[in-house]
Amino acid sequence: MRKRFDRQSFLGPNSTEILERCHVAIIGLGGGGSQVVQELAHIGVGHFSLFDADHVEDSNLNRLVGATNVLAVSHASKTAIATQLIRGVNPSASVVAIPKTWQESADSLRDCDVIFGCVDSFAARQQIEVSARRYMTPYIDIGMDVHDLGDQFAISGQVILSMPGELCMKCMGFLRDDLLAREAENYGAAGSRPQVIWPNGVLASLAVGIFIQLVTPWHKQRRRVWYLEYDGNSQTVVTSNRLEHLKGTICKHFSSLEDLGDPFWSVEKSIQSQ
Amino acid sequence: MKVVFKIMDTLLDEVRRDLIRPHEFAAERVGFLVCRPARLNGGGIVILAHDYSPVDDPDYVDDPSVGAMMGPRAIRKALEFALNNQSGMFHVHMHEHFGRPRFSRVDIRESARFVPDFWNVRSEMPHGAVVLSNDSACGSCWVPGVSIPIAISEVRVVGSPMVSIRVQP
C-alpha cells in the first residue's frame, strides 16, 4: 500500500498518514462531486461522508464519473456509485454514504476536517457555509455554469475556499442577496441546466489542489483565501480580482460568538450520545 | 467522553505571542480562551475557541512560589464575561519548550480550585484549562454532569496547514 504513494511522497514526510486520517465530506455527487471523490480516493484520503439524495439516470452519463449504463438502468444512488468508486481504489477507506439531502443528516458534517460543496444553487452554498463556519470547518465550493449569450455559449465556473475566520462567500461578492432572492423566485422553474464533464474535471482538480495545500505541508506559500474563476471558452483560470480589492477586509458575517457551536447546546444530549 | 479542542491558527499565534511577553513580576502570563461547545456526531464534544482574553497586568498577584497567580479581579472579569456572553472559559498558559506540554502539580491544583467556579455563572457550559508549548498543547475539560475533568483528546488547529495534535490515542 505504501508503494502506491511513493510518487506523492514530496507532499511531506507524514502526508500519507495525514491523508489517511483525514475526514472529508462531499455534498453533491454529480459531475463535479464524483470527480472530487475519485481524486480524493486516489490520493489516499481515509474517511468520507458522502451526501446526495439523487439516483443516477441516463442523462447523467455524460459527466458522472463512476456511472455506467447498467447503473443508470438500475437507478443506483449516487452515493452508492461514489462508494463503489472509493472502495475500488481503497477498500479500507471508511465511507459513510448518506443518500439524503445533507440537511437531513447535518450532524454528520460536524466531525469532518474539510467540506466540499458541489451543489447547484446559491441557497445551498449559503447553508453549507453557515454550517461549516459554525463548526470551524474549511469549506471548498465548486460550481460551473453554461450561459447562452445569443450567438454563442460561455462556460464559466469558480472554486472558492471559505476558511473560518477569513473572507466568506458574501464578503467575496459571490453570494449576493439579489442572486439569492432571484433564485428563490425561480425556485423549481430552472429546469435542467447544461453540464459537461471537462469543466467539472478542471474545477474538481483545482479544489483537490487547494485541499492538498490545506492539509499537507508540501507548499511554502500558504494561502488562506481562494477564489478562482474559470473561463471555459478561453480555457483559463485566474484568481478573482475581487480578492485584490478585499485585502485587509475582515468578515463581518461570521464574526460573532453566536455564529459558533450548537445554537441549542445541551450538555445532557452530549452525555446521552456516549 | 471524547473532547476535541478546535482553534484557528491565527488565534493560537496571537495567544502564544501574548503569553511569552515578560511581566513586571510574574514569571509567566495567563489568559482565557472564550469558547462555545458543540456535540460531535460520533459522540463527545468539540470546544470551539472564538477569542482570547489576556489577564491584565495589574490583575496578577506577586507570588514567587508559582509562575503566575491571578488575583480575584482577573477571575471576576472572566466570570462576568462568561455570564454575559454565554461562553465556556478555558484558562490558558504556556510552557516555553518544544514537544508535548504537561500540567504541573500546581496547575492541576489551581485549575481544580477555580475552573468549577465558572459553573456558578454558566452551569450549562464546559470550562477548562489548556497549556501550550511552542508547538503543541494539551488540556482538561470540566463537562457539566461529569464529576472529574476529562483530558482533551485532540487539539485541532484550523489553518493552513491544518494541524492535529493527538493527545490521547
Between residues A189 and B5, the one the model is more confident about: B5
Query: Is residue B25 predicted with pLDDT exceeding 90?
Result: yes
Q: Please check whether residue A136 touches B, CB under 8 A.
A: yes
Q: CB-based burial of residue A105 (10 Å sphere; 0-12 exposed, 13-18 middle, 19+ buried)?
A: middle
Find the mean pLDDT for residues A26-45: 97
Residue B159: its chain A contacts at CB < 8 A?
Answer: 222, 224
Mean pLDDT, rounded, for B138-152: 93
**What chain A residue is nearest to B45 in terms of C-alpha separation?**
A270
DSSP A109-158: GTT-SEEEE--S-HHHHHHHHHHHHHTT--EEEEEEEEEE-SSSEEEEEE
Is the pLDDT reported for residue A2 higher than 80?
no
User: Looking at residues B116-125, what average pLDDT do you find?
Assistant: 94
| Cis status, amide bond into A194, omega within 30 of 0 | no
Q: Which chain A residues touch B6 with a CB distance below 8 Å?
A: 135-136
Average pLDDT over residues B86-112: 94
Question: What does the pLDDT average to over B58-62?
Answer: 94
Whether A111 sits inside 8 A of B87 (CB atoms) is: no
Q: What is the pLDDT of residue A135?
A: 96
End-to-end CA gap in chain A:
34
Distance CA A43, CA A223 (A): 21
Residues of B near A (Cβ–Cβ under 8 Å) read: 1, 6, 8, 10-11, 34-46, 48, 50-51, 85-87, 124-126, 143-146, 156, 158-162, 164
Query: CA of A110 to nearest chain B CA: how many angstroms apart?
Result: 6
Question: Selecting from 3.40.50.720, 3.30.70.2740, 3.90.650.10, 1.10.1270.20, what CATH number does the domain A2-272 have?
Answer: 3.40.50.720
Cα dist from A229 to A210, B16, B114, B156, whole Å:
14, 37, 52, 30
Instruction: Please report the sign of the dihedral spanned by the C-alpha atoms of residue A177, residue A179, residue A180, residue A186.
Output: positive
pLDDT of residue A159: 98
Instruction: Name the grid cell of A43.
Output: 490520493
Q: What is the greatest pairwise CA distance in chain B? A: 46
> From the list B37, B41, B50, which residue is nearest A107 (CB)?
B41
Q: What is the mean pLDDT of residues A105-129?
A: 94
C-alpha A6 chain-centroid distance: 27
Does residue B110 have a pLDDT over 70?
Answer: yes
Q: Select the residue of A107, A261, A273 nearest B48 (Cβ to Cβ).
A: A261
| Residue ranges of domains in chain B | 3-166
The whole-number average pLDDT for the span B109-117 is 93
Q: How confident is the model at residue A146 (pLDDT cuts 50, 70, 90)?
A: very high
* pLDDT value of position A136: 97
B44 contacts on A by Cβ (under 8 Å) = 270, 273-274
Could you tell me which CATH class the domain B3-166 is placed in?
alpha beta
Which of A213, A267, A273 is nearest residue B144 as measured by Cβ atoms? A267
Q: Where are the domains of chain A?
A: 2-272
pLDDT at A270 over 70: no
Is B36 in contact with A223 (Cβ distance < 8 A)?
no
- CB of A223 within 8 Å of a chain B CB? The answer is yes
% of chain A with per-residue pLDDT over 70: 94
The chain A residue lying nearest B4, using CA atoms, is: A111
- Rounded Cα distance between A171 and A182, Å, is 19
